Structure 1
Amino acid sequence: MLSSTLIVALVVFIGAFTQGLAGFGFAFFSLPIISLVLDFQTSVVILVLMAQVMNLLILKQHGSLPQWGDVLPLTVATLPGIPVGVAMLQYLPVYVLQGTLGIILVLYCLYMWFVCPVPRVLGKAWIVVAGFIAGCLGGALNSQGPPVLMYVALQPWDKDRVKATTISFFIASGVLVIAAQAWRGLITADALELSALCLPGVLLGATCGRIAYRRLGEGGFRTVFIGLLFALGLFMLVKSAGDVI
């Protein structure tokens, strides 16, 4: 138990550092490794719990208030997408869903790198599109982040607004996830205890990530942001290919 706890604490520290730096990446980095030492259900529950505390800390440290006119419509638009995603999971293999999302992310990042589109303000309809697709992916793969990350990356926003929007979206959607997990009885005493044991590593990692974030200029932040999206896409492609083989 002790060795497992130390492994989980180290992993969540690195994941929290990534989230504190870029505004996302905590579950993407932590879940595949933690699920090797804990059962998958427990891994998901403790990461959701720790992510809420971590994201609240990051938002407080950030000091830049989110634009609720962006965050709330994104969150509301996820709701009708969730049952669609659950239905997709029933009719399509997970590797097909993961592989498709991986291809989209990789192509998107290549587009951002080689075409270098000029950032522009996207219309309100794109908020609905991004939120709905996020809900679909949340219901199917518990991966609601990528569409929102792609949406904010295309906007002509500075790094503070990008990060504040993504973190606030994760907080809002996290409340819905925790409520659903509690309703299904998934939040157990053991999950709460392990989350509490690892929480210092999460808070320290997020704080160190914040320090690194402050050293990044606008260009450096966008490079890290798109680079992590590319890594996420590659990970999903490799995982889906492994499931097929």
Structure 2
Amino acid sequence: MTVTVIILIIASVFIGALIRATFGFGEAVVSMPLLALLPIGLHTSISLIGLAGLTVALFTAISGWRHVDRPALIRLVIGALIGIPIGLLFIVKVPAMIITVGLGIFLMAYGSYSFIKLLYAKGSVKSRLRASFWSLPVGIISGIMGSAYNTHGVPVVVYGTLRRWEPRRFRGTLQAHFLISGVLIVIGQALGGLWTEDLFLLFGLSLPAIIIATLLGVFLHRRIPNEKFERYVFLLIVLLGFLLLMNHV
């Protein structure tokens, strides 16, 4: 592996970590397509982004813990425990293209619809998913998507926007969930044989970039006005859906 390739890998991880620290999600969908362009194994990419995401969550969850929706978090984590082993089977049994293309179409449709509705809504938009039960199946889907494709944030992000969490609760709950589920996902990836010889070298080289991206992301997040945060989230969801589709065109 050349120095140029290593630098490009670190840059890909940095971009993903910056987006995660700023908005609370999205690093895998951004970083994985970038890593796919480089001569690095799929299992190494999945495991590297898993460790990077866990590191970002560790730093950001501490500062946002007081804003966490704890009842929802507990149900999300219980669901993730159920979904993670199912996701490891998905890697072997279900073609990634089917999952990612379907997910990409859904994200673009959902993000576009929600953004347009938010622009034309008169007054505040009410929560569309009030029943607390939904956090459990969302956690299961998150566990499946996380252990298989490192996209465990997508279901929780959609759930959070449907619940209309305000920015601090949105980001705080996401990071707390990512921290707990991230530990489980990384363990699952290790037991599932996804760790490779290059993983820890690349993670060690990427760690300074991850820390810098996290600090910069926290700085940027604090300067996003609350009234504009939700709009940015929906636009980012559309972008992530587009990137998922482009990765398989």
- TM-based fold match above 0.5: yes
Residue 202 of structure 1, aligned match among 207, 210, 214 = 210
Unpaired segments of 5 or more residues in structure 1? none
Match runs of 1:46-85 below 5 Å: 46-62=48-64, 64-82=66-84, 85=87
Q: Could you say what the CA RMSD is over the residues aligned between the two structures, in angstroms?
A: 2.4
1:155 is the counterpart of 2:138: no
- Distance in 2 (CA, whole Å) between partners of 1:49 and 1:87 is 20
Shift of 1:115: 2.6
- Distance in 2 (CA, whole Å) between partners of 1:152 and 1:44 is 25
- The residue that corresponds to 2:41 in the other structure is 39
Shift of 1:67: 2.6
The answer to whether the 8 A contact 1:103-1:237 is kept is yes
TM-score normalised to structure 2 length: 0.85
Shift of 1:144: 2.2
- Distance in 1 (CA, whole Å) between partners of 2:82 and 2:104 is 23
- Distance in 1 (CA, whole Å) between partners of 2:200 and 2:90 is 31
Structure 2 letter corresponding to 1:78: A
Residue 164 of structure 1, aligned match among 166, 172, 197 = 172
- Distance in 2 (CA, whole Å) between partners of 1:65 and 1:189 is 39
Q: Using a 3 Å threshold, how does the CA distance of structure 1 residues 169 and 125 change in structure 2: closer, same or farther? A: same
The answer to whether the 8 A contact 2:69-2:173 is kept is yes
Shift of 1:152: 0.4
Shift of 1:52: 1.4
Greater shift in the superposed pair: 86-95 or 16-25:
86-95
Count of residue pairs brought into register by the alignment: 241
Q: Using a 3 Å threshold, how does the CA distance of structure 1 residues 51 and 217 change in structure 2: closer, same or farther? A: same
- The residue that corresponds to 1:7 in the other structure is 8
- Identity, % of aligned positions: 28
The answer to whether the 8 A contact 1:95-1:239 is kept is no
Structure 2 letter corresponding to 1:225: V
The answer to whether the 8 A contact 2:143-2:181 is kept is no
The answer to whether the 8 A contact 2:61-2:179 is kept is no
- The residue that corresponds to 2:233 in the other structure is 225
- The residue that corresponds to 1:24 in the other structure is 25
Secondary structure class of the residue paired with 1:216: coil
- The residue that corresponds to 2:182 in the other structure is 174
The answer to whether the 8 A contact 1:64-1:160 is kept is no
The answer to whether the 8 A contact 2:48-2:199 is kept is yes
Secondary structure class of the residue paired with 1:37: coil
Shift of 1:223: 1.8
- Distance in 2 (CA, whole Å) between partners of 1:75 and 1:162 is 16
Greater shift in the superposed pair: 74-83 or 6-15:
74-83
Residue 100 of structure 1, aligned match among 82, 92, 102 = 102
- Distance in 2 (CA, whole Å) between partners of 1:41 and 1:91 is 15
- Distance in 2 (CA, whole Å) between partners of 1:93 and 1:186 is 17
